[in-house]
Structure 1
Amino acid sequence: MESPAVTKFREYIRIKSVHPKPDYDSAVAFLDQYGKDIGLEVHHVEVSGGGYTNIVVIMTWKGKNPNLCSVLLHSHTDVVPVYEDQWKCDAFAAIKDENGDIYGRGTQDMKCVGIQYLEAIRRLKKEGKQFERDIHLTFMPDEEIGGICGIRPFVKTKEFADMNVGFALDEGLAHPENKYSVFYGERGLWWIRIKCEGNPGHGSRFIENTAAEKMRKIVNKMLDFREKEKLRLEANNTCLLGDVTTVNLTKLEGGLAYNIVPADLTVGFDIRIAPTINLKEFENQVATWCKEAGDGVTYSFVQKNDDQTLTPHDKSDPWWNAFSTACEEIGVELSLEVFPAGTDSKLYREAGYPAIGFSPMRNTPILLHDHNEFLNEKIFMEGIDAYCKIIPALANVPEY
């Protein structure tokens, strides 16, 4: 017989909170009723960004000492689109196969975690527990599009300030081995646009100093650097993706016709910078490459994140000590990592709040944003057990 927690998880997956038109209304209604059924205080904060508004759902379980800073359990409600023809079943049907694998967009990223929080709290409340610190749960929109109308305006609200957050948990990744991945930081995100100007003319001639010649030099420099970082990752067994810098060419723009040599061409790169990299030196390197490519080569940033804040992760930190000690009691080895992409927790760190990325999914392939995303129901239920250890440990961190 299926656990009611699994049933709720599958119900959440069936809500099509998928971009570009996420059904946030249904998600909010589902979460409102869920929180009230458990006995949590539920309220909304309206945020604005990108020319529209969204609702952030906040649930609160009051602690014994409201003067202490609170614990925040964060998740997001939105999911990325799917290629329907690449899925073996409806990505929003939450089909469960004979092995207990539940298929659906958001099973790993990250509707599982939102439900695990709630079901752990349901269990703890049934046991009559109450902890020293307030516990808040946030269900955030728009994480998958950069928090435009989600985390970015939310952290600037009075309502968030009033929550008096001391420490936050957010999403992580599955681990294919018998470990839990734990993320204490993220790589910096730079989207760079490089414009190359050159001599135009007829496509039948050998024109000197063209935009294409300059662009080739830039592309070669960038991809040579990419290859060095790739080899560095492959050569070191202890090196993880978050420890190196990735560069990918993602956009090419320019040209008027096949028989006209263009006066300018533009190339765009997605660069994820490891926190060990000196950002000023790296930008100077990009500027040097542009200068070496020739006159009329300039760069600009479409997005530039320079924050390299890392959450403390040694036993001297009371939050890390509580979290890691609880994990030791669970008996699962932790893999300490830098998150290779981006999550809402980066915005919490930037605002001065320590945050850990953690999704309790071991022995599970990493399938976020991938075809046939799934999570096994036993792994899902095990995650609830994990939070039943971790949440009390964090919520009882003594005053310091």
Structure 2
Amino acid sequence: MEPFAVTKFREYIRIKTVHPDPDYDGAIAFLDKYAEELGLECRHVKVSKDDVNRTIVIMTWKGRNPNLKSILLNSHTDVVPVYEDQWKCDAFAAIKDENGDIYGRGTQDMKCVGIQYLEAIRRLKKEGKQFERDIHLTFVPEEELGGEYGAAVFFKTKEFSDLNIGMALDEGLANEGNKYTAYYGERSPWWIRFKSEGNPGHGSRFIENTAAEKLMKLIDTLLNFREEEKVKFQQSVKCNLGDATTVNLTKIEGGLAYNIVPAELSACFDIRIPPTVDLKEFEGQLTKWCESAGQGVSFEFVQKTSNTNVTSTDANDPWWKAFTDGIKKLNIELTTEVFSGATDSRFLRAAGYPAIGFSPMRNTPIRLHDHNEFLNETNFMEGIDAYYAILPCLADVPSF
């Protein structure tokens, strides 16, 4: 017989909170009912002023001492689109095969974690447990679009401030080996549009000083830098992806017709920068590369994160000690890394809150945003055990 927690997980997967038209209403109704089942306080905070229902669902399990800083368990409800013809089954049917592998968009990123929080709390409440600190669960929209209209807005509101957060847990990645991975920081995502202006003219002539020539020079410089970083990453046994600067050309724009040399072209890059890099210096390097490419070459930020805050992993830090004490109960080895992508945790760290990215999945290939995303039933249930061990340690951290 299927565990009740797995049934709830599959039900959550079937709610199509997929962009560009996520069913947030369906997710909110599902979560409201969940909170009622568990006897958790539940309220909503709307973070948008337009017709899109960007609503934060907040659940609260009260502790004995509301004056103490609380614990935040954050997760996002939205998921990325799928290439339906590349999936072996319906990406929103939550099909479970004979091996116990559950297929569906969001199985790893990150509907599993939201349900694991709730089912660990169900188990703890059933045992009559209560802790010193309040535990808040937040289910936020728009993370997959960068979080700018979801968590980034919410974390600046009075409603969030009133939660009196001491530390937070958010998403991580699966570990393909037999360990868990905790993420204490993130790279800064810079989405940049480089613009090149040059002489236009007829496509039959040798036009000098064209936008294309200068843009190609800049692109070559950026891709050469990319190759240097790639080599350093591959040659270092201690370097994880989160420790490297990645540079990827994602879009080229411009031109009016096949026979017109354009007066302007642009190239868009996704650059991810680790917290060890001086961001001011790096931006200065980008400026120099533009100047070297030629007059009329410039850049603008589409998205720019300039936070290099990391969460302490010092053995004497009370929050980190409590988290790792919980992991020790599981007898599972823990590794630590800088997260290679970007999550809502970056907004928390930027505001000074300790935040640990943690998705308790091991022996699992990383399939977030990939075709045939899946999570095995056994690994999912083990994740509930992980939070069952960790939450009491965090929620009973003495005042400090």
Secondary structure at the counterpart of residue 114 of structure 1 = helix
> CA distance change for structure 1 residues 51 and 341 in 2, over 3 Å: closer, same or farther?
farther
* 1: CA distance, partners of 2:331 / 2:236: 27
Q: Residues 49 and 149 of structure 1 are in contact (CA less than 8 Å); yes or no, is this contact kept in structure 2?
A: no
Matches within 5 A, 1:317-356: 317-356=317-356
Residue 37 of structure 2 is aligned to residue 27 of structure 1: no
Q: Residues 24 and 53 of structure 2 are in contact (CA less than 8 Å); yes or no, is this contact kept in structure 1?
A: no
* CA positional deviation for 1:50: 6.5
Secondary structure at the counterpart of residue 48 of structure 1 = coil
* CA positional deviation for 1:273: 0.5
Residue 265 of structure 2 is aligned to residue 253 of structure 1: no
The one-letter code matched in structure 2 to 1:191 is W
Matches within 5 A, 1:33-182: 33-48=33-48, 52-182=52-182
CA deviation map 1:58-88 (0-9, x unaligned): 1111101111010001111111111100000
Q: Residues 49 and 148 of structure 1 are in contact (CA less than 8 Å); yes or no, is this contact kept in structure 2?
A: no
Q: Residues 252 and 266 of structure 1 are in contact (CA less than 8 Å); yes or no, is this contact kept in structure 2?
A: yes
* 2: CA distance, partners of 1:191 / 1:341: 13
Identify the range of structure 1 (331-340 vs 383-392) with the bigger mean alpha-carbon deviation. 331-340
The one-letter code matched in structure 1 to 2:116 is Q
Identify the range of structure 1 (202-211 vs 389-398) with the bigger mean alpha-carbon deviation. 202-211
Matches within 5 A, 1:195-210: 195-210=195-210
> CA distance change for structure 1 residues 51 and 146 in 2, over 3 Å: closer, same or farther?
farther
Equivalent residue number for residue 241 of structure 1: 241
Equivalent residue number for residue 306 of structure 1: 306
* 2: CA distance, partners of 1:326 / 1:182: 13
* 2: CA distance, partners of 1:254 / 1:293: 18
* CA positional deviation for 1:318: 0.3
- Cα-Cα RMSD: 1.0
* 2: CA distance, partners of 1:249 / 1:321: 41
* 2: CA distance, partners of 1:282 / 1:51: 39
* CA positional deviation for 1:52: 3.8
CA deviation map 1:112-167 (0-9, x unaligned): 00000000000001111110000000111111111233102111211111100000
* 2: CA distance, partners of 1:366 / 1:5: 22
* 1: CA distance, partners of 2:279 / 2:50: 28
Q: Residues 182 and 356 of structure 2 are in contact (CA less than 8 Å); yes or no, is this contact kept in structure 1?
A: yes
Q: Residues 131 and 395 of structure 2 are in contact (CA less than 8 Å); yes or no, is this contact kept in structure 1?
A: yes
* 1: CA distance, partners of 2:337 / 2:49: 31
* CA positional deviation for 1:51: 6.5
* CA positional deviation for 1:49: 5.5
What is the TM-score normalised by the length of structure 2?
0.98
Equivalent residue number for residue 366 of structure 1: 366
The one-letter code matched in structure 2 to 1:248 is N
Equivalent residue number for residue 211 of structure 1: 211
Equivalent residue number for residue 294 of structure 2: 294
* CA positional deviation for 1:39: 1.2
* 1: CA distance, partners of 2:298 / 2:14: 47
Secondary structure at the counterpart of residue 271 of structure 1 = strand
Secondary structure at the counterpart of residue 34 of structure 2 = helix
% same residue = 69
> CA distance change for structure 1 residues 56 and 390 in 2, over 3 Å: closer, same or farther?
same
Q: Residues 194 and 298 of structure 1 are in contact (CA less than 8 Å); yes or no, is this contact kept in structure 2?
A: yes
* 2: CA distance, partners of 1:151 / 1:49: 15
Q: Residues 190 and 271 of structure 1 are in contact (CA less than 8 Å); yes or no, is this contact kept in structure 2?
A: yes
Q: Residues 25 and 53 of structure 2 are in contact (CA less than 8 Å); yes or no, is this contact kept in structure 1?
A: no
* 2: CA distance, partners of 1:138 / 1:107: 18
The one-letter code matched in structure 1 to 2:314 is D
Equivalent residue number for residue 192 of structure 1: 192
Identify the range of structure 1 (119-128 vs 230-239) with the bigger mean alpha-carbon deviation. 230-239
Secondary structure at the counterpart of residue 386 of structure 1 = helix
CA deviation map 1:17-67 (0-9, x unaligned): 111111111111111111111111111111116764422111111101111
Equivalent pairs, count: 400
Identify the range of structure 1 (230-239 vs 87-96) with the bigger mean alpha-carbon deviation. 230-239
Q: Residues 50 and 149 of structure 1 are in contact (CA less than 8 Å); yes or no, is this contact kept in structure 2?
A: no
Residue 235 of structure 2 is aligned to residue 229 of structure 1: no
* 2: CA distance, partners of 1:262 / 1:25: 46
CA deviation map 1:223-251 (0-9, x unaligned): 00000111111111221110000001111
For structure 2, the residue ranges without an aligned partner over 5 or more in a row are none
* 2: CA distance, partners of 1:112 / 1:240: 25
The one-letter code matched in structure 1 to 2:152 is R
Secondary structure at the counterpart of residue 277 of structure 1 = coil
* CA positional deviation for 1:360: 0.2
* 1: CA distance, partners of 2:276 / 2:345: 19
* 1: CA distance, partners of 2:210 / 2:142: 41
> CA distance change for structure 1 residues 312 and 51 in 2, over 3 Å: closer, same or farther?
farther
